[in-house]
């Protein structure tokens, strides 16, 4: 049952990829390191970590990989492993990821840094890591069979390279890509410039778009799906499980969007503001080539970086504009029902099943509020209660919360609108004075049913 059916050079060559047996203690140590270095909170101004006061990147619903400086090299540890993942309350799945999460922790470095990244494999099959978009020695590129042998189950390989070009990049397996990426193995790699470019931003966010096929009631996503994805995510969360982005009016905000979805591009739209696309995974866009926009298309295998300064306070929607991507566990097994007159059918079905109700003939709005019984581990037609009514979107949807004083503001709070600034019922006298004549009441199946 579902929504519609319910209805990164130091002379290092390929030989530097070394192997070691993964111990349980090693895995626990990495997990403890990650736990002891939680990601910056969405509240509070983000600390500067790079030249020019560039702030650390926040990954909503995610984390940042702890890096240790050893003899001038920044060292980190990724563990590829199965992950018990919660997309949103009441919707979980056994996914694959890194360090206990999907997406994996965001890796942050500064232009010119040398990174030494250990990768331990706790999956049931071999894997590799490809540093998507990074210019590096060929033997560090992470393509199984072509540039290295796969990392066997239970072993640890090491990748070492110098990040020479600032930008927004990603990482993912290049072994059994269809399965491993589809199950959630992806992450972002951010390289801050040694010499800052453009205006300094106050807040910097990383958002990975992804899509899964999770059949209603299933425990694992289907990696064989090629077209009909029903769990569309920001940082592997669906609304209402997505964390809001809390920013201040007049602050300069950067959002880094990455897309490692198996098949779909995502047109990400922000309400209440316009932005500039300032970079791709290929590099910075010259200011003369930037243009204002409100929707950015993030193709599969690409990153896009947008920057803006919000002017209007409020709770602003941010979502993929493919309408089926803001639903969860939608399906397409039913014929179109909009406009169908089912009164006779309803009467007959009520004789054998008194609780029977035909759905969809008047559209699907409001179904989430009905709190009808749904199968275990499913989330069809579920959003959340908003400040005015039920928000019936799900999937790749979140909220950009613009406040005068964002530091210390409760991210869960709703915007309090000044009196007279909320759309509401029209005053008949004002309508008449403005020359607006109300239309006649509609007639049809719904109107007839009310008579």
Instruction: Write down the domain spans for the chain.
Output: 14-320
Among candidate residues 167, 164, 182, 172, the one with its CA nearest the CA of residue 222: 182
Q: Which H helix or E strand runs over 206?
A: strand 203-212
pLDDT of residue 155: 97
pLDDT of residue 214: 87
Cis check for the bond before 192: say yes or no (omega within 30 of 0).
no
3-class DSSP state of 321: coil
**pLDDT over threshold 60, residue 15:** no
Query: Rounded mean pLDDT of 239-260?
Result: 96
Of the pLDDT bands very low, low, confident and very high (cuts 50, 70, 90), residue 45 is low
Report in angstroms the alpha-carbon separations of 226 from 175, 179, 213.
Answer: 18, 11, 9
CA contacts within 13 A on the Cβ side of 447: 5
Q: Round to the nearest angstrom and report the end-to-end CA distance of the chain.
A: 33
Q: Of 33-37, 111-115, 200-204, 362-366, which gets the smallest average pLDDT? A: 33-37
Query: Rounded mean pLDDT of 267-290?
Result: 95
Q: Of 13-22, 81-90, 128-137, 387-396, which gets the smallest average pLDDT? A: 13-22
Among candidate residues 439, 311, 329, the one with its CA nearest the CA of residue 382: 329
CA contacts within 13 A on the Cβ side of 196: 12
pLDDT of residue 328: 67
**pLDDT over threshold 70, residue 289:** yes
Q: What is the CATH number of domain 14-320?
A: 2.60.40.420
Query: Rounded mean pLDDT of 273-290?
Result: 95
Q: For residues 193 and 384, what is the distance between their CA atoms, to the nearest angstrom?
A: 40
Q: Are 411 and 401 within 8 A, CB to CB? A: yes
Of the pLDDT bands very low, low, confident and very high (cuts 50, 70, 90), residue 341 is confident
Comparing 258 with 341, the larger pLDDT belongs to 258
Q: Across all residues in the chain, what is the average pLDDT?
A: 84
Of the pLDDT bands very low, low, confident and very high (cuts 50, 70, 90), residue 38 is very low
Q: Are 96 and 184 within 8 A, CB to CB? A: yes
Q: Of 23-32, 62-71, 277-286, which gets the smallest average pLDDT? A: 23-32
Query: Rounded mean pLDDT of 347-373?
Result: 64
Q: Are 378 and 217 within 8 A, CB to CB? A: yes
pLDDT of residue 260: 94
**pLDDT over threshold 60, residue 42:** no
pLDDT of residue 26: 46
Question: 29-47 burial, b for 16+ CB within 10 Å, e for fewer?
Answer: ebeebbeeeebbebeeebe
Q: Are 123 and 80 within 8 A, CB to CB? A: yes
**pLDDT over threshold 60, residue 365:** no
**pLDDT over threshold 50, residue 9:** no
Comparing 56 with 2, the larger pLDDT belongs to 56
Of the pLDDT bands very low, low, confident and very high (cuts 50, 70, 90), residue 98 is very high
pLDDT of residue 241: 92
């Amino acid at each position: 049952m579902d929504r519609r059916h319910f209805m990164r050079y130091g002379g290092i060559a390929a030989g530097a990829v070394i192997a070691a047996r993964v111990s349980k203690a090693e895995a626990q140590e990495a997990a403890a390191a990650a736990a002891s270095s939680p990601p910056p909170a969405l509240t509070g101004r983000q600390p500067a970590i790079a030249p020019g006061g560039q702030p650390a990147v926040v990954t909503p619903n995610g984390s940042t990989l702890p890096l240790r400086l050893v003899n001038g090299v920044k060292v980190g540890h990724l563990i590829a492993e199965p992950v018990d993942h919660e997309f949103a309350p009441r919707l979980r799945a056994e996914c694959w990821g890194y360090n206990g999460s999907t997406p994996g922790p965001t890796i942050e470095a500064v232009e010119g840094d040398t990174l030494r990244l250990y990768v331990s494999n706790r999956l049931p099959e071999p894997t590799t890591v490809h540093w998507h978009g990074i210019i590096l020695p060929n033997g560090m590129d992470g393509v199984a069979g072509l540039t290295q042998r796969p990392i066997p189950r239970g072993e640890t390989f090491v990748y070492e390279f110098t990040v020479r070009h600032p930008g927004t990049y990603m990482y993912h397996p290049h072994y059994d890509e269809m399965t491993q990426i589809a199950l959630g193995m992806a992450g972002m790699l951010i390289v801050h410039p040694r010499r800052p470019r453009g205006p300094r931003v106050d807040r910097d966010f990383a958002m990975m778009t992804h899509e899964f096929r999770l059949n209603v009631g299933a425990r694992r996503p289907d990696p064989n799906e090629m077209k009909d994805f029903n769990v569309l995510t920001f940082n592997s969360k669906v609304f209402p499980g997505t964390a809001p982005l809390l920013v201040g009016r007049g602050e300069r905000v950067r959002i880094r969007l990455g897309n490692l979805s198996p098949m779909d591009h995502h047109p990400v739209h922000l309400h209440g503001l316009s932005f500039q696309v300032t970079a791709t995974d290929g590099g910075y866009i010259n200011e003369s080539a930037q243009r204002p926009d409100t929707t950015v298309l993030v193709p599969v295998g690409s990153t896009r970086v947008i920057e803006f300064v919000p002017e209007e306070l409020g709770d602003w929607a941010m979502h993929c504009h493919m309408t089926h991507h803001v639903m969860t566990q939608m399906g397409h097994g039913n014929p179109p029902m909009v406009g169908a007159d089912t009164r006779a059918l309803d009467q007959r079905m009520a004789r054998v099943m008194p609780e029977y109700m035909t759905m969809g003939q008047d559209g699907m709005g409001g179904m989430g509020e009905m709190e009808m019984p749904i199968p275990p581990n499913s989330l069809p037609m579920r959003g959340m209660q908003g400040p005015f009514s039920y928000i019936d979107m799900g999937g790749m949807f979140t909220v950009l919360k613009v406040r005068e004083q964002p530091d210390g503001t409760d991210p869960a709070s709703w915007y309090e609108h000044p009196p007279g600034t909320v759309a509401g019922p029209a005053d008949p006298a004002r309508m008449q004075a403005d020359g607006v004549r109300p239309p006649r009441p509609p007639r049809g199946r719904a109107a007839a049913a009310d008579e």
